[in-house]
Structure formats: structure tokens, C-alpha cells
Amino acid sequence: MISKEDIIKRFVSYVVIDTESDPDSETTPSSKKQWNLAQKLVEELKDIGMEEVTIDENAYIMATLPSNVDHDVPTIGFISHFDTTPDFRGANVNPQIIENYDGKDIILNEEQDIILSPDYFEDLLLYKGQTLITTDGTTLLGADDKAGICEIISAIEYLIQNPEIKHGRIRVGFTPDEEIGRGAHKFDVNKFGAEWAYTMDGGRIGEMEYENFNAASAKLIVKGKIVHPGYAKNKMVNSMLIASEFIQALPKNEIPQETEGYEGFFHLQSMKGEVEETILEYIVRDHDKVLFEERKNLILETVKRINTKYAKEVIEIEIKDQYFNMKEKVEPVMHIVDIAKKAIESIGLKPEIKAIRGGTDGSQLSYMGLPCPNIFTGGHNYHGRYEYIPVESMIKATEVICKITEITQERAKND
């Protein structure tokens, strides 16, 4: 299959390119530096022998591997994003290669005493004896989702080099700005032309998902009135204290650090305040659509109650839906999940089918008419300095991609 050396070389060549997206930008891609990797990927797709390689004005990349059989096979796709999150520093990534991991602490940065330890990150012990790629402790790694891109291109290259593996028409798509929720916004589903696709954007080896959160954002602007504190009796209105009232009114245990599995949450991700004005920014998440709507209504009702208490609109509220649970769109075509499950099993892994406690491009694409389950890339601890990925997991992900193409072709031939 794919050699370890080739996977490492390709992956490292991607992660050293800074592609951090910018939520404050209105352009697509949101940061000019995303073009640097996008253009590299275009040339690489051409070099390995892909056809119909295109990149549009928004940096969306598409390419085709033609069918090598003479019977009808559904066109399928594989999709990943090349931006990295703005949650943590993505510039000057310096990947560390840990050969034959011994199960002990990994010193990421001796000078700053930054350690990747199995005492805290227990999953590390699953990879004793394997090759890990880590950060140097000062940046993220970027396996989310440059690992997915690496795996897709490596798998397609392998199929091109081994034409005895029979497959139908395969489409590949790479997108910008997934990390700021815009990865699918300008994706041309009709141009892509696949009946279904898979995002290679998951976590640990063996995982597959076709359920994700329903998601919304909520922005609250709390208004106050500044008066000299020495003469503030019955005059000052402190917006920060009103904001605190709102925060305390929401369920205290329904927050990210207190929830798991299918449990939803309210997450206060930003708070900026002075006496005159405080801004709260929340994200609201739930897998269940009814509970999701109830969460949004609770926010609105709480705002209404506080405004009534103060006899004026001290809180302005804006709630925006961001994406929805793809389960609704995937369940009618569950054979696409069955194919991926069979592919994972065929390479000796046990599929771990679970719900995403987040979202991917696939959730939006599913509602745009392209059903799109999500498959593991092998990475851990995304969006921070402790991110790492086992090379052996990346190799397994490339094998899954190849097997999906084989199984799809065999299924079509036997129908």
C-alpha cells in the first residue's frame, strides 16, 4: 500500500504552509495565505494524473479520476478542507516525528516545558510502537484537515498506479474556510457531479459519523449606563452585571465540559464588557432538532424576562442557524454508510459509528443535495498544541478510501 515515508513527506509538506482562516474577513477564501496550499494542491493533482483539475475564484478545487470499468457505477466523491482553525496559532508549524513511540511522555518543547503525556491524553497508549507526528508545542499541527487531503491524494495516486483495482468515476474536492463554518457555502454541488461523497475529516482510527449537531450562534448586546460611581445611586446601569444575570439563568451543567455523547449545550465563547456595553457570544448545539429549538427559545425567553425586569430593552439578541444534523439526509440512503462500514471492516478495523459533537462540510453539503458521511483521518487533540496523528492511522485511512471505491464498483456490477 502507501509507504510510510511517502505519507510523512506529503503530510509535512502541507502542514508547514500556514492556512489559518479568518472569521472577520468577508472574502473567500477568508485569508490570502490559503491560496498558497490551494495552488500547490492543484499542481499535485495534475502531477499524479488526475483529470478535469479546476480551481475557481474562491479557491474551491475539484478533480476527476475517470472510471476504469465498462459498466455503470455511481460517481462518488471525497472531500477535505485545507484551512486550519483560528483558535490556535497555525504559522511556523514545526512537525516532530516520533518513531517507535514508547508509551511515555513526549517532550514537545523543553524550553517551555510543554509535554504530551499519556497520563492526560490516554489515547496515546493505543499507539505504542507506532510513528507519531506531533507539534513542537507552540502551534497546532493542522491534521484537521490536511491529513484528510494527504489521505485522499495518496489513495487516488495509488489507484492510478494500480489500474487492476477497478473503480467508477471518482471526484475529489478541497475547500477553504471550513473552520469558520463557510467551507460548503460556495461549493458547487452540481459541478461536482457525485451521487454521494465522504468527508475525510474525522478523528481517531475506525471512526465514522453520519450524525452531527444542529448548530446556531447567539449574539447578545447588553446595554448599560455609565455614571460617576460616587453619584451613581439609582442612576448607573452596569451592563456586565446584567450580562452575568443572563449567564447564570442558563442551565449550569449544560456546557461543553459537562456534556458528552448526544447531550447538547450552551457555550459562552466570548465576553467583552464595560459598564456601558457588554457583548456575549454563544454557540448552541444539540443533536435532537426539538431540543435544539427549545434551547434557542430558552435564550429568547430569558432575554425577554430580563428586559421585562428592567422595563426596557437592555439586551438585544440575534440568533442565527449555522448548520443542521445530516442524519435526516443520510438515513434515506443508508447504503452509503454501509459501504464505508464494510470498507473499514475489510482492512481489519472495527467501525466506531458515533455522532459528531460538532459539524463538518458534510453536514451542509448533505442539505445541498450531496449526502456526505464523515470518515476518520486518525488525528487527535485538534485545534491546539497537543495535536498529534499516528502515521499508521493515516495509511489505514488511505486504504479505506481505496476500498470504498472498490466496493462501490462491485456493488454496481452485481446490481
Residue-wise pLDDT for 252-275, tens only, equals 999 999 999 999 999 999 999 999
| Average pLDDT for 39-66 | 98
CB–CB of 366/301 below 8 Å?
no
Q: Please say whether the beta carbons of 2 and 67 come within 8 A.
A: no
7 has pLDDT over 90 = yes
Residue 415 is predicted with a pLDDT of 79
Chain position carrying cell 444539540: 286
Integer Cα distance of 138 and 125 in angstroms: 23
Distance of CA 322 to the CA centre of its chain: 14
pTM of the model: 0.88
Q: What is the pLDDT of residue 169?
A: 98
Whether 242 has a pLDDT exceeding 80, the answer reads: yes
**HSE toward the beta carbon, residue 16, CA cutoff 13 A:** 10
273 bridge partner residues: 278
Q: Which of 90, 340, 301 is nearest to 197 (CA)?
A: 340
Residue 288: active-site member: no
Band (360; pLDDT cuts 50, 70, 90):
confident
Active site residue 178: yes
Amino acid found at 318: E
Residues across the chain: 415
Contact criterion met (CB below 8 Å) for 155 and 65: no
Q: Across all residues in the chain, what is the average pLDDT? A: 96
Q: Which amino acid is at 217?
A: S
The alpha carbon of residue 190 and the mean position of all alpha carbons in its chain are separated, in whole angstroms, by: 23
Instruction: Name the residue with cell 421585562.
Output: 308
Q: Can you tell me the distance from the alpha carbon of 62 to that of 55, in angstroms, rounded to the nearest whole number?
A: 7
Residue 1 in this model has a pLDDT that exceeds 80: no
Rounded to 10 degrees, what is the CA torsion of 160, 164, 170, 175? -40
Out of 144, 178, 207, 387, pick the active-site residue.
Answer: 178
Q: Where are the alpha helices (DSSP H) in 251-334?
A: 289-309, 327-330
What span, in angstroms and rounded, lies between the C-alpha atoms of 61 and 200?
15
Question: Going from the N-terminus, what domains does the chain have, and what CATH number goes with each?
Answer: 4-212+325-414 (3.40.630.10), 214-323 (3.30.70.360)
In one-letter notation, the amino acid at residue 124 is L
pLDDT at 22: 96
Name the helix (H) or strand (E) containing 268.
Answer: strand 265-273
DSSP 357: S
What SS3 class is residue 5? helix
Kindly list the distances between the CA atom of residue 381 and the CA atoms of 87, 119, 319, 372, in Å, as whole numbers in the listed order. 13, 14, 29, 23
Are the C-beta atoms of residues 380 and 204 closer than 8 Å to each other? yes
Cell of 19: 492556512
- Percent of the residues in the chain that have a pLDDT greater than 90, as a whole number: 94
Q: What is the mean pLDDT of residues 175-198?
A: 95
Give Rg (Cα) of the chain. Answer: 23
**Cis ω before 66 (30° cut-off from 0):** no
The secondary structure of residue 117, as a DSSP letter, is -
pLDDT in tens, 271-328: 999 999 999 999 999 999 999 999 999 999 999 999 999 988 999 999 999 889 999 9
- At 173 the three-state DSSP class reads strand
For residue 163, count other CB atoms closer than 10 A to its CB.
9
Query: What is the pLDDT confidence band of residue 24, given thresholds at 50, 70 and 90?
Result: very high
pLDDT value at position 359?
77
CB 53 within 8 A of CB 46: yes
Q: Where are the beta strands (DSSP E) in 356-413?
A: 374-375, 388-390
What is the spatial distance between Cα 86 and Cα 384, in angstroms, rounded to a whole number? 10
Q: Which of the residues 22, 83, 151, 211 is marked catalytic?
A: 83
> What confidence score (pLDDT) does residue 195 get?
98
